[in-house]
Amino acid sequence: MLRAVGVSQSRGEEAVFRDLSVGVDAGEVLAVIGPSGVGKTTLLRTLALSLEPEDGRVAFDGTDAWKADDSERLSLRRRTGMVFQEASLFDASVARNVEYGLRVRRSWRDRLRDELRSIAGSKKHPHAVRESLEVVGLTGKTGQHAGSLSGGEAQRLSFARALAYDPDVLLLDEPTSDLDPRNTAVIEDAIAEARDRDIGVVVATHDMHQAERIADRVAVLLGKHIAEVGPTGSVFENPRDERTRKFISGELVY
C-alpha cells in the first residue's frame, strides 16, 4: 500500500541510506530494526511524506507522492499517522491532542462552531476521540493537560492521537523505548488492535524481542541499506545475510 522505492536520504554531507526499498501492506505489522543512528527515524519520516527523498519515490497505492501536487500530497499524507520518538504533544488537554487530526480535516466553518461550543462549554468529544483513548487506556484523563502526563501516558496519548482519524498506515518510531513493561504491553496491544482494523503498521525498534512478538515481517537496516527483509520467523531463525546474523546475535556492535 505504502512503499518507498529506491529512496536515498542524506543529512549534511553524509548519506544516511541509499537506494532503499521497503513497503507495508494493509493489516500487517512491519518492524524496522537496526542500530542507533542507522536511519530508522529518517526512513519513517520519509514514509510519512514529511521528508522528501533525494532520490527515488514514495508511492501510496501506486501514486508517486512527490510528483503529485500539494493538495494531493496533503490528502495522501492524511492517510498516515505517526508517533514520534521524542515528545511531540501539543500544549493542550488530552482530548484536544487526540482531536487534532479530526479537527484539521473539518471545514473552517465547523471548526469555528466547535471552538465557540467549547468556549461555551457545551461541546461533546467526538466518538473517535473516546474510542482511541480507550484503546490506550486513557479515558480517565480526557480533561487533563497533556503536559502533566507521565512519560508512559504521554506516549500512549501520542498513539491515540495518531489513531483517532483512522489512518491507513501508522508509523511508530520506537514507541516503547523508554517505557516500563506495563506501558509497553498497552502499546503492543494497541498495535495489534490497529492491525485488526486493517491498518498497515511500521514500527522502528531496537528491541528485537519486541519485533519478534509483534511483527509479521522484519526489515533489518544496516549500513545504508536494508540488509534483509522477510517474515519475522525466518529473519530471526534463519537469516540469509551474514551481517543480519551477527546483528541479531549481538556480535555486531556499532
Please report, as ranges, the residues that interact with another protein according to CB under 8 A: 45, 48-50, 74, 77-78, 80-82, 84, 86-93, 100-101, 104-105, 143, 145, 147-148, 161-162, 165
Q: Does 132 bind Mg ion (CB under 5 A)?
A: no
The least CB distance from residue 45 to another protein, in Å, is 8
Q: What's the CA gap between 166 and 101, in Å, rounded?
A: 10
Q: Which does 6 bind (CB under 5 to 8 A by kind): another protein, ligand ATP, Mg ion, none?
A: none
Please count the residues of this chain forming the interface with Mg ion, following the rule CB under 5 A.
Answer: 3
Shortest distance in whole angstroms from residue 58 CB to another protein: 13
Shortest Å distance, C-beta 159 to another protein: 12
Nearer to ligand ATP, 33 or 133 (CB): 33
Edge-to-edge strands, sheet with 63-64: 14-24, 2-11, 55-60, 63-64
Q: 121: burial class by Cβ within 10 Å (0-12, 13-18, 19+)?
A: exposed
Cβ-based neighbours of 45, under 8 Å, separated by 6 or more: 51, 82
C-alpha cell at position 134? 480507550
Q: For another protein, which is the closer residue by CB, 88 or 234?
A: 88
Cβ proximity to Mg ion: between 41 and 183 the closer is 41
Identity of the residue, 40 or 96, whose beta carbon is nearer to Mg ion in the bound complex: 40
Contact 216, 34 (CB under 8 A): no
CB of 28 to another protein, least distance (A): 21
3-state secondary structure of 130: helix
Amino acid, res. 139: T
Question: Where are any strands of DSSP class E within the chain?
Answer: 2-11, 14-24, 29-33, 55-60, 63-64, 80-83, 169-173, 200-205, 217-222, 225-231
Within 68-97, which residues bind Mg ion (CB under 5 A)? 85
Q: Using CA atoms, how far apart are residues 107 and 166, in angstroms rounded to an integer?
A: 18
Q: Is 46 in the site for Mg ion (CB under 5 A)?
A: no
Q: How far is the CB of 253 from ligand ATP (least distance, A)?
A: 14
Helical pair 151-163 and 127-135, crossing angle rounded to 10 deg: 130
Please give the residue ranges that form the binding site for ligand ATP (CB under 6 A): 11-12, 16, 34, 36-42, 85, 206
105, interface contact from another protein, ligand ATP, Mg ion, none, CB < 5-8 Å by kind: another protein
**Least distance CB 4 / ligand ATP (angstroms):** 14
Residues forming contacts to Mg ion in the complex (CB under 5 A) are 40-41, 85
